[in-house]
Amino acid sequence: MNSISENTIISESLAIVLAKQGKIDKAVDMYKKLSLRNPEKNRYFADRIKELTTIKDY
């Protein structure tokens, strides 16, 4: 299973680390959860997700 469990720490820093480690799916999942928790930063997180999915598709 590639999704993050409910008891996992969710942070932007961890999403960045995951992305740098090549764990793009986990990073995207974390950004989606961050977006839900922080709707005021929705656009920012959507941009990060778009960047990561572009890298993944490369």
pLDDT of residue 1: 45
Cα angle at 13 between 9 and 19, to 5 degrees? 100
Integer angstrom CA distances of residue 38 from 15, 46, 58:
15, 12, 29
- Sequence-ordered strand ranges (E) for 1-58: none
| Distance separating alpha carbons of residues 42 and 34, to the nearest angstrom | 8
How far is Cα 38 from Cα 34, in angstroms, rounded to an integer?
Answer: 6
The gap from C-alpha 42 to its chain's centroid, in whole angstroms, comes to 12
Domain positions in the chain are: 12-57
pLDDT digit string (tens) for 21-56? 999 999 999 999 999 999 999 999 999 999 999 977
pTM to 2 decimals? 0.82
